[in-house]
Amino acid sequence: MAKKGRFSEFGDAIRNFWNSPGIPSFIEILEKGLDKELFFDPDRADSQIPKEDLPIDFRLRQSGFLRKFYEKLFPVSHVFRITHRYGREFLDNFMPLASENYIGRGSYKFVYTLPWNQVVKIGKSKLPSDPIFGSLYKEVQNNLERYLKTEEIGLMHHLQKSAWGESKRDEIRFKFARLGLERLHYWKLKSLIPDLVLPTRFFMGLRYRRSPFGVPVVTLTPCDNQNLLPGKHLKEFIRLNEKVRQNPIQDALFPKWKLNFDTHRFGIINKAKLKKIALDFHRVIEVTRYLASEEKLIFDIHSENIIITIPDFELKIFDYHVFDEHLYEPSKENPSPEVDHINLIKEFVSSFELG
């Protein structure tokens, strides 16, 4: 009860801080320290993290025939951060991209490594009917000035003025609202477990592709970038060596396995580090419970969203999406949808055999 009360009080403070005089804006709080966290010196040739040390799920790198053909025909070239200065569009932060730097894709983004040990995540096109655009999106849509910087609001209006047709203007507003939504999802976790959440900068990007005809294909899309850490996805530490018994049809079509942590998979991990990882996982469980019970939100946590760094063996979360509770289908075993996520973590931690 004490933990729930602490999270409740903290949540109330977050919800009411807009009305408190003298409190910095949401954006100021969110971006505090990012210039230092994400700083890199282009004149220093920092050694690249070896590809074998990257948290890459190679299955996420695979694309279908049509996607591969499209990438060959229109190869990605670079991305700029776009904002509004001097009364017009202003481009900065040139980020070179190449197909060989593509390291994965999620449900909402394509991920590329940059030459300076960072990644840039480029938003995929999404329809407003996607379940990500729930109650939090409505909050952002109705209060854009809270979630977007002044120059981003200026850029949105500038682009809308030069757009043809109402539908194009709506599409531009939708993309900027999605940028604000990404920030809000990040804030939901960053405010509760700041040390476990990887510092992330969200920005509006202009992504370029080279066409066979010499005319660049330019796309306005929300992006974000993070430091690249050596480590492994949670699933890369898992041994699937014990099958969970189900009915014959499920066993054939949808096999399930017990999750076991392989402490020798990437070297020997001492007990103190395992205890620290277990404690951090329990903090993630508490946050997941809090968001579900107090805000009716499901933290969409999967083994692809978490890495354990090497050689420090620290838990880091680098992907942040929360959905409305009613958009999840509860399973027969767990009528409350967040329980499926919590049980996944609990099963994993129990395999540490810490007692």
The confidence score (pLDDT) of residue 334 equals 66
| pLDDT for res 295 | 92
Judgement on whether residues 292 and 340 belong to the same structural domain of the protein: yes
Q: Is residue 11, in this structure, part of any structural domain at all?
A: no
Q: Residue 16 has what pLDDT?
A: 61
Q: Does 20 map to a domain?
A: no
109 & 165 share domain: yes
5 in a domain, yes or no?
A: no
Assign 90 a pLDDT band (cuts: 50, 70, 90).
very high
- Please give the Cα distance from 287 to 139 (Å, whole number): 21
Is 19 among the domain residues? Answer: no
Q: Is residue 285 a contact partner of residue 279, using CB atoms and an 8 Å limit?
A: no
Query: Could you read off the pLDDT of 152-188 as tens digits, one per residue?
Result: 999 999 999 999 999 999 999 999 999 999 999 999 9
User: What pLDDT score was predicted for residue 32?
Assistant: 86
pLDDT above 70 for 149: yes
Q: Summarize the confidence of residues 308-318 as an average pLDDT.
A: 90
How much is the pLDDT for 37?
92
User: CA 138, 143, 149, 150 torsion: positive or negative?
Assistant: positive
What is the average per-residue pLDDT within 217-223?
A: 96
On whether residue 12 sits in a domain, the answer given is no
Where does the pLDDT of residue 244 fall: very low under 50, low under 70, confident under 90, or very high at 90 and above? low
Query: What does the pLDDT read at residue 262?
Result: 73
Residues in the chain, how many?
Answer: 355
CA-nearest of 218, 110, 111, 130 to 174 is 130
Whether residue 211 sits in one domain with residue 97: yes
Query: What gap in Å lies between CA 107 and CA 285, rounded to an integer?
Result: 23
Shared-domain flag, residues 313 and 254:
yes
Q: Are residues 199 and 269 in the same domain?
A: no
Q: Structurally, how many domains does the chain consist of?
A: 2
Please check whether residue 119 lies inside any domain of the structure. Answer: yes
Residue 2 domain flag: no
Which domain-ending residue is among 178, 211, 228?
A: 228
> 228, 247, 278 — which closes off a domain?
228
Do 81 and 127 belong to one domain?
A: yes
Alpha carbon distance 315, 276 (integer Å): 9
79/175 same-domain check: yes
pLDDT at 118 (0 to 100): 93
- Answer whether residue 36 shows pLDDT above 60: yes
> pLDDT grade, residue 20 (50/70/90)?
low
Task: Please list the residues that pair with 89 across neighbouring strands.
Answer: 84
State residue 333's pLDDT score.
67
Read off the pLDDT of residues 96-116 as tens digits, 9 standing for 90 and up. 999 888 888 888 999 999 989
Two structure tokens written together for 140: 């952002």
Please give the residue that has the higher pLDDT: either 192 or 351.
Answer: 192
pTM exceeding the 0.75 threshold for the entire prediction: yes
Indicate the residue among 228, 246, 270 that finishes a domain.
Answer: 228
- Answer yes or no: is pLDDT of 195 > 70: yes
End-to-end CA distance of the chain: 23
Containing domain of residue 304, as a range?
A: 232-351
Note whether 62 and 37 are same-domain residues. yes
Residue 49, SS3?
coil
Same domain, 196 and 303: no
